[in-house]
């Protein structure tokens, strides 16, 4: 699962920055899960420093192989901070969408021939680390488009799957 591999590859500081960017009113995006794991009341979790909460949230995602939750976390982060990256990728690769939301994933894959050019353009406009994060999501979302997985693995340094 590319999203979990990407999560493993993220450094603690990078995950903390992502986690903090999604916090609302002092609560991190997975603080309910963190509170439950630590046997805290939900309100009491705010007493823990954000780096400690983010570290625990990451460990929960990895220990339980929470692929869907990690995918949702990354997607929310990208739509909140770099929506243009998501919509730009979809537009540049011919994927029909409505403001970044795709109705028919199976019948609407990106054009593999357009991927290298689209990624090069996005790298000039957005942080390459965020482009790589989005490629991990796309590679998981469209496994039949092998070029997506190849591009993501080249960029992330992840080993090729067998």
Do 92 and 144 lie in a common domain?
yes
Interval 33-62: pLDDT, tens: 999 999 999 889 999 999 999 999 999 999
Do 61 and 93 lie in a common domain?
no
Do 60 and 87 lie in a common domain?
no
Do 59 and 92 lie in a common domain?
no
In a domain, 72, yes or no: no
In a domain, 147, yes or no: yes
Which of 40, 65, 90 terminates a domain? The answer is 65
Do 103 and 130 lie in a common domain?
yes
In a domain, 74, yes or no: no
Do 97 and 55 lie in a common domain?
no
Q: Which neighbouring-strand residues pair with 24? A: 27
- In the DSSP assignment, the letter for residue 158 is P
Do 54 and 92 lie in a common domain?
no
Give the dihedral sign, CA 2/22/18/53: negative
Instruction: Give the chain's mean pLDDT.
Output: 93
Interval 84-142: pLDDT, tens: 999 999 999 999 999 999 999 889 999 999 999 999 999 999 999 999 999 999 999 99
pLDDT at position 159: 66
pLDDT band, residue 161 (cuts 50/70/90): low
Domain limits for position 32: 2-65
CA 115 to chain centre: 18
Give the chain's domain count.
Answer: 2
pLDDT at position 43: 87
What percent of the chain lies above the pLDDT cut of 70?
Answer: 97
pLDDT at position 42: 85
In a domain, 41, yes or no: yes
In a domain, 161, yes or no: no
Do 108 and 48 lie in a common domain?
no
Do 32 and 89 lie in a common domain?
no
In a domain, 70, yes or no: no
Asked whether the beta carbons of 114 and 92 are under 8 A apart, the reply is yes
Do 55 and 115 lie in a common domain?
no
């Amino acid at each position: 699962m590319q999203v979990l591999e990407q999560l493993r590859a993220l450094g603690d500081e990078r995950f903390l920055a992502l986690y903090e960017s999604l916090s609302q009113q002092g609560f991190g995006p997975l603080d309910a899960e963190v509170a439950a794991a630590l046997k805290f009341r939900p309100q009491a979790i705010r007493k823990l420093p954000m780096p400690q909460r983010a570290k625990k949230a990451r460990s929960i995602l990895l220990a339980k192989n929470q692929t869907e939750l990690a995918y949702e976390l990354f997607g929310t982060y990208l739509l909140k901070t770099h929506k243009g990256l998501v919509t730009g990728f979809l537009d540049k690769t011919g994927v029909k969408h409505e403001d970044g939301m795709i109705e028919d994933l199976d019948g609407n894959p990106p054009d593999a021939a357009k991927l290298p050019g689209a990624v090069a353009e996005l790298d000039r406009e957005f942080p390459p680390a965020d482009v790589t994060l989005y490629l991990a999501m796309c590679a998981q979302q469209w496994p039949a488009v092998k070029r997506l997985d190849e591009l993501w693995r080249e960029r992330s340094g992840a080993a090729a799957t067998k």
